[in-house]
Structure 1
Amino acid sequence: MLSTFVSASLLLGGVAEIAAPQGIAQADPVDELIASMTDTSRRANEKNEEVKQLEVGLEDGQAKLGELNQWAADLTAQAEQAAATERESRQVVNRLALSRYRGALTDPLTSAFAARNPQNAIDRTAYLATLSQKANDTVARLGAVTKDAADRRNEATMAIAESKFKQSELEKKHRELLQEQEELKRISEDLRRRVESLNAADRQRWIDKNGPVAYNLDGVAGSPSGMSALEAAMSKLGSPYGWGSAGPSQFDCSGLVYWSYQQQGKTLPRTSQAQMAGGTPVSINDLQPGDVVGYFPGATHVGIYAGNGMLVHASDYGIPVQVVPVNSMPIYGARRY
């Protein structure tokens, strides 16, 4: 009886072992890799865009700091010159108060007694009074100029201090982001090796993850500006992806948008967030060829609308510039330049 029970148990166990693989859905390792790479690439792209934005901010801050330094130097020179002129004027007035006018004291009463006749006394007194008033006015005016120049110099000094503080904060944040990006780079390099190790069929699945299509601009019409940018982007179909790259041989997402518009002499911001903060907001239902479309929370990815519900963009590592449906990713918004 016991042996029958054991045999039955073994039989059932064997059946369970055989049936388990059929009853449990096995995850596709390529799908897992694609999901992992997509997530890591999105995080890396987000950090990459933040670093680029900080680099732009640092460059602007340094330029502003140079302008402030020059402004402060100019104001300092003006203040010193005004103070020197004021000192000289005061010395002139002081000398005038102690000197004689044609042999007479500058005191009006003394001048009157020293005059040859009444008219001469009146003339001397009036002249000295006018001269004294002009001197006092000059001193007062120069004193106001000196105060104004000193105030502007203090204002410039405060602005420089503020600019240096902000620049210090930006540099600190930049260092932090570079450290984070270095960690993401390590992860991306690991995933890069895994992607490179895929066979041809699985590698194609990675390239096709957003549903790319063969596409041309036959019959597509739009504004001259938008069409020119779109045509430039389409000329780069097949170009490789490169983090932080803005052409002409490889691109990241915002780099492709930046380069495409630059070909027609129009300079857009360099980062995806800044590109989605500029231009004119456009409804997704009113997209025109050349409009810039942003994706994911925070606008961490962008592409150029290609008409007919399509988008040309630089996607991820290992995926060349391609055309995909505009709704193949979660849309953040759109801008027209």
Structure 2
Amino acid sequence: MASHRKPRQRPLSGGTVRTAATLALAGAATATAFEGTSQADPRPTPAQVEAQVDRLYEEAEAATERYNGAKEKADEAERALDGLRDETARKADQLNAARGALGSLAATQYRQGSLGTAVQLAMAADPQEYLSQASFISRAGDRNAAGISSVRRRLDEVGKLREQAAGRLADLRTQRDELAGRKAEIEGKLATAKRLLAKLTAEQRAAYEARSGVAAPAAAPQSAPPPPSDGSRAARAVAFAHGAIGKPYVWGSTGPGSFDCSGLTQAAWRSAGVSLPRTTYTQINAGRRVSRDQLAPGDLVFFYSGVTHVGLYIGNGQMIHAPRPGSTVRMAPIDSMPWAGASRPA
């Protein structure tokens, strides 16, 4: 019988030992690396949190101005659509009146035993198709021709108005889709900023809000000038801004109970009888550009490279502005943010 002995294991050679050791070390290093990546990221410092929050608020304000622009276009499209619908209704009434008159003429012809083209038109299921295919106007009597021509003209008018209304409706739907996207973008950034701020202690948040101008000031700046009282339009705009101090910032709002930055400046100048466009990037081109050393009360002052923030200059290096969510309308120095330019509404 064959024996069932285990085969003898040969000892590992030097090269094999080194290879095994290398693999073992590599495995240990890999395990260590995985253990390291499984650990939570280190808690951000207060300075890092503040920098991220500042960036998110700036991006949210830029998105707010894009939202304002899209809303302005949507409002314009809606007004145009309403006007087209009203005009279409008027033209349809005129068309019905013209067809009614033509029908009366057709009834008279029928009673007289003359079933003419007017009767055929009045009884047609599709008057437009009948008119486009017929070549009878020149053969019809003067009264028939005039009535048929009137109906044809009004059918064309109503058809064109309905086409225009359909185009405006498509524009409006596009603008509303853009509004929904902008709104989601803004709310997402603000929610992220709120979560980041929650990582700070109460003392750290208070210090950050004081540095960023979000916290309500204990008193008006010592150098803040009184509102001008010369009765000019600029003076009336500044007086309105003074009256808005303390009202909350709400993105997309133009008053009277709350404002965003361009909503405040638009409302202030509207109170003085001057119509400004809705957004920061259109307001900067709405008047005459002025340099920083030529500023006068009532001028619009703009900030950041994307021209995403605006305030109303009131003199002595101060402005009134609506800073950002969580804040209220207040005075602040114009050197508290990166300068972008200034303009003077006409």
TM-score by shorter chain over 0.5: yes
Shift of 1:164: 1.2
Cα 1:177/1:238, change in 2 over 3 Å: closer
Q: 1:65 aligns with which of 81, 97, 101?
A: 81
Matched residue type, 1:146? V
Matched, 1:138 2:147: no
CA distance in 1 between partners of 2:87 and 2:251 (Å): 38
Q: 2:289 aligns with which of 282, 296, 307?
A: 282
Cα 1:202/1:95, change in 2 over 3 Å: closer
Q: 2:300 maps to what in 1?
A: 292
SS for the counterpart of 1:315 is coil
Task: Judge conservation of contact 1:311–1:326 (CA < 8 Å) in 2.
Answer: no
Alignment of 1:263-274 (within 5 A): 263-264=271-272, 268-274=276-282
Matched residue type, 1:42? E
Q: 2:194 maps to what in 1?
A: 189
Alignment of 1:1-337 (within 5 A): 29-89=45-105, 92=108, 136-194=141-199, 197-199=202-204, 200-207=206-213, 214-218=222-226, 224-237=232-245, 239-247=247-255, 250-264=258-272, 268-277=276-285, 279-284=286-291, 286-317=294-325, 320=328, 321-325=330-334, 328-337=337-346
CA distance in 2 between partners of 1:272 and 1:258 (Å): 10
RMSD (CA atoms): 3.6
Cα 1:168/1:213, change in 2 over 3 Å: same
Shift of 1:47: 1.6
CA distance in 2 between partners of 1:329 and 1:205 (Å): 15
Task: Judge conservation of contact 1:214–1:323 (CA < 8 Å) in 2.
Answer: no
Task: Judge conservation of contact 1:83–1:146 (CA < 8 Å) in 2.
Answer: yes
SS for the counterpart of 1:316 is coil
Measured against aligned partners, the alpha-carbon deviations of 1:188-221 in whole angstroms (never above 9, x if no partner) come to 2224435673445454223399xx9533325968
Task: Judge conservation of contact 2:228–2:239 (CA < 8 Å) in 1.
Answer: no
Shift of 1:303: 0.7
Task: Judge conservation of contact 2:288–2:344 (CA < 8 Å) in 1.
Answer: yes
Shift of 1:162: 0.3
CA distance in 1 between partners of 2:257 and 2:223 (Å): 21
Q: Point out where structure 1 has 5 or more consecutive residues left out of the alignment.
A: 1-27, 99-132
Shift of 1:246: 4.1
TM-score, normalisation: structure 1: 0.66
Task: Judge conservation of contact 1:215–1:323 (CA < 8 Å) in 2.
Answer: no
Aligned residues: 272
| Bigger Rg, which one | 1
Cα 1:142/1:158, change in 2 over 3 Å: same
Cα 1:298/1:335, change in 2 over 3 Å: farther
Measured against aligned partners, the alpha-carbon deviations of 1:100-147 in whole angstroms (never above 9, x if no partner) come to xxxxxxxxxxxxxxxxxxxxxxxxxxxxxxxxx9x8333332232222
CA distance in 1 between partners of 2:164 and 2:49 (Å): 51
TM-score, normalisation: structure 2: 0.65
CA distance in 1 between partners of 2:238 and 2:47 (Å): 32
Shift of 1:225: 0.9
Task: Judge conservation of contact 2:265–2:312 (CA < 8 Å) in 1.
Answer: yes
Cα 1:301/1:318, change in 2 over 3 Å: same
Shift of 1:43: 0.8
Cα 1:227/1:30, change in 2 over 3 Å: farther
